């Protein structure tokens, strides 16, 4: 065990840290975190139209009349349906920040322009007619996330290339900084737009647009893989395993969030046409990770926190149970991970890997047998306590499924927590 711990500390952790410290990983993570409030805002308004209580929709329709949802839906469209577009700007900003650009607004603005250049400018109406000179929501939302990453990277790298080689309009020192920055971005801006036009032109040889090409060859396969049961089960287990090694699970989660959000949005589109089932939808969504696999924190440690309360005989365990149960209820488990400790604790290796897998499998089975609905786009903040979060994202069936999953994680953690408590009792008796 000591040899394994030494290898992890001296080899594995530094290697993983190097990967996560890469500029593009950080820009992707931080850029996406910047737009996450949009999902919560959109979900609040979506809950108004789709509150998970039987008869709710008919009740509200009786008060406000048919079509009342159309007055609320613009709030949803203005948040979920612009995530790809906004992400192109936030990632460019964060990437420019990592390169220590003096002017970070120009990369943000030019990245948004580049994104608009490459997305399609037409939509097919219900009548079959094609409307041109419009921007379809399909490509400003999560469906265009991969295109957003590409255009943000191209924008910042072109600006950086031009800056290093002096390919810019330089203004006298007497000119205000904002004006000088605007002129400096002119030539790189032209190059960026030209690259966007070129990419779109080449993409038309294969499909309708550059974002659609990326969606078909990269994003769609990724969504299919991440959305499959085996993938989200693996991610759930790795979350716990990484925490046992002392590595924060955001290492993998931050890279998966764009795809998990896209899967939730894809499920929402299926739900809107009444075709969301266990056969058509994605299991791997942001809710499956945030509200199921990480109940109590990564490793589904709410089960461990409850187990400590049940088994505590040693003074150390009693103190830990008091300190950790409330944070765990809000999905915060750092006091538990490092205070118990869970990190490098041989007794905790098996349960922290198995418990989140069990929680996810229970939820998947609940969906497959038709008891619980598949997750759509409705989301809640990650710190929302279990049972409440389950109800809000999937109705009473979601709350019941979460309750069963919590009970299962308690059953998994309990014998290991009891063994650990006995160790502490013996240590305190010496």
Contact status, residue 255 vs residue 25, Cβ threshold 8 Å: yes
Cα distance between residue 237 and residue 229, in whole Å: 12
User: What pLDDT does 292 receive?
Assistant: 95
User: What pLDDT does 60 receive?
Assistant: 84
User: What pLDDT does 16 receive?
Assistant: 63
Residue 251: CB atoms within 10 A of its CB come to 17
What are the pLDDT digits (tens) for 318-373?
898 898 899 999 998 888 888 888 888 889 999 999 999 999 999 999 999 999 99
**Average pLDDT, 10 consecutive residues per value, the chain (430 residues):** 60 63 82 86 84 80 83 84 92 94 92 94 79 85 90 95 88 75 87 95 88 91 93 94 84 86 92 89 94 93 94 89 90 88 89 96 96 91 91 94 97 93 85
What residues contact residue 325 under an 8 Å CB cut-off, 6+ apart? 305, 306, 308, 309
User: What pLDDT does 286 receive?
Assistant: 93
Chain centroid offset of residue 232 CA: 13
Strands (E), 44-167: 122-124, 130-132
Contact status, residue 310 vs residue 414, Cβ threshold 8 Å: yes
In degrees, rounded to 5, the angle at the alpha carbon of residue 119 between the alpha carbons of residues 261 and 133 is: 125
Find the length of the chain.
Answer: 430
Contact status, residue 28 vs residue 254, Cβ threshold 8 Å: yes
Cα distance between residue 148 and residue 93, in whole Å: 12
Q: Which residue has the tokens 């309708």?
A: 208
The beta-carbon contacts of 247-256 under 8 Å, at least 24 apart in sequence, are 247/13, 247/16, 249/294, 249/298, 250/29, 251/16, 251/19, 251/20, 253/289, 254/25, 254/28, 254/29, 254/32, 254/33, 255/25, 255/28, 255/29, 256/226, 256/289
Cα distance between residue 137 and residue 42, in whole Å: 15
User: What pLDDT does 50 receive?
Assistant: 79
User: What pLDDT does 167 receive?
Assistant: 87
């Amino acid at each position: 065990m000591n040899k394994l711990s030494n290898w992890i500390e001296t080899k594995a952790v530094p290697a993983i840290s190097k990967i996560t410290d890469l500029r593009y990983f950080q820009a992707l993570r931080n850029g996406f975190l910047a737009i996450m409030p949009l999902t919560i805002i959109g979900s609040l308004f979506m809950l108004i139209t789709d509150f998970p209580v039987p008869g709710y929709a008919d009740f509200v329709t009786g008060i406000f009349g048919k079509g009342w949802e159309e007055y609320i839906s613009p709030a949803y469209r203005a948040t979920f349906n612009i995530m790809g577009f906004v992400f192109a700007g936030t990632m460019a900003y964060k990437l420019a920040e990592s390169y220590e650009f003096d002017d970070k607004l120009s990369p943000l603005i030019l990245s948004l322009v580049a994104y608009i250049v490459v997305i399609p400018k037409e939509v097919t109406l219900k009548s079959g007619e094609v409307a041109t000179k419009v921007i379809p929501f399909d490509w400003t939302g999560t469906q265009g996330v991969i295109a957003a990453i590409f255009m943000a990277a191209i924008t910042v790298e072109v600006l950086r290339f031009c800056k290093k080689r002096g390919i810019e309009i330089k203004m006298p020192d007497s000119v205000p900084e904002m004006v000088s920055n605007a002129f400096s971005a002119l030539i790189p801006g032209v190059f960026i737009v030209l690259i966007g036009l070129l990419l779109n032109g080449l993409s038309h040889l294969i499909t309708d647009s550059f974002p659609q090409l990326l969606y078909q060859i990269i994003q769609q396969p990724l969504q299919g893989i991440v959305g499959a049961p085996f993938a989200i089960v693996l991610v759930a287990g790795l979350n716990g395993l990484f925490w046992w090694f002392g590595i924060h699970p955001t290492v993998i989660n931050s890279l998966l969030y764009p795809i998990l959000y896209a899967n939730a949005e894809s499920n929402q589109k299926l739900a809107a046409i009444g075709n969301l089932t266990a056969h058509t939808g994605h299991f791997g969504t942001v809710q499956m990770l945030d509200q199921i696999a990480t109940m109590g924190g990564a490793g589904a440690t709410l089960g461990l926190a409850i187990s400590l309360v049940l088994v505590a005989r040693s003074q150390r365990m009693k103190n830990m149970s008091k300190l950790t149960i409330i944070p765990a209820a809000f999905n915060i488990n750092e006091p538990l991970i490092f205070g118990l400790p869970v990190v490098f604790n041989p007794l905790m290796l098996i349960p922290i890997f198995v418990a989140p897998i069990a929680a996810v499998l229970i939820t998947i089975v609940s969906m497959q047998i038709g008891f619980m609905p598949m997750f759509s786009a409705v989301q809640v903040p990650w710190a929302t306590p279990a049972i409440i979060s389950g109800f809000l994202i999937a109705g009473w069936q979601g709350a019941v499924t979460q309750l069963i999953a919590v009970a299962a994680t308690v059953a998994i953690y309990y014998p290991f927590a009891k063994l650990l408590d006995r160790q502490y009792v013996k240590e305190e008796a010496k």
